[in-house]
Amino acid sequence: MNGTPEPAQQQRTKPPLSEAAKASLARTHTLFRMFVVSVLGAFFVYQLDVNYLWLTAFLTVASLVLGVVLLVRAARLRESKLVLIGTIAGLVVTAILMLLILVTALFFTEVRDYQACLARALTDQARSACRVQLEGSLPTQIP
């Protein structure tokens, strides 16, 4: 019997990060946090009221810029896969928000009237009437 156990595998350890690498990683994480806050902020402001569409558009543009910067940074510096995946998912949400903003801007008065109707509606029947009113105010399909 051998008294000294030999390790079956060499354990891989990452070399310690330099100060520049730590600063770069901290900057990437700060940008990622700002990106997440802007995406969530744009989504929740959109849910509030159509009168805040300008704020939603501003936050969405900020999200798009931050997302592209993060995507380039994560790909170039090969920092964190979680940041890369989170950025891609956030950019998908941002693209959907951009489409929603464009559609809402096209039908701004109809959506504003619908939201005002829903604010006054107290019953399910009144909500259905608001939905019918919205469907009647939107343009019909071209045959």
pLDDT, tens digit, 9 for 90 and up, residues 32-85: 999 999 999 999 998 887 788 899 999 999 999 999 998 888 878 777 788 888
Say which residue, 127 or 50, is predicted with more confidence: 127
Claim to verify: residue 73 and residue 136 sit in the same structural domain? no
Structurally, how many domains does the chain consist of? 2
In a domain, 13, yes or no: no
Say which residue, 114 or 25, is predicted with more confidence: 114
* Cα→Cα distances 5→11, 12, 65, 110, 132, Å: 15, 18, 54, 76, 77
Host domain of residue 135: 108-143
Question: Is it the case that residue 97 has pLDDT exceeding 90?
Answer: yes
Burial per residue of 84-119, b for 16 or more beta-carbon CB atoms within 10 angstroms, e otherwise: bebbeebbebbeebbebbeebeebeebbebbeebee
The per-residue pLDDT for 12 is: 64
Claim to verify: residue 116 and residue 70 sit in the same structural domain? no
* Cα→Cα distances 25→1, 19, 35, 89, Å: 48, 10, 15, 20
Claim to verify: residue 59 and residue 121 sit in the same structural domain? no
Claim to verify: residue 87 and residue 136 sit in the same structural domain? no
pTM of the model: 0.71
Claim to verify: residue 73 and residue 118 sit in the same structural domain? no
Q: How many CA atoms does the CB half-sphere of 86 hold within 13 Å? A: 20
Claim to verify: residue 80 and residue 33 sit in the same structural domain? yes
What is the pLDDT averaged over residues 103-129? Answer: 86
Contact 59, 45 (CB under 8 A): yes
CA distance 76 to 98: 26
Claim to verify: residue 31 and residue 66 sit in the same structural domain? yes
Interaxial angle between packed helices 53-77 and 19-48, expressed in degrees from 0 to 180 and rounded to the nearest 10 = 150
Residue type, 46: Y
Claim to verify: residue 36 and residue 97 sit in the same structural domain? yes
In a domain, 17, yes or no: no
Question: Is it the case that residue 86 has pLDDT exceeding 70?
Answer: yes
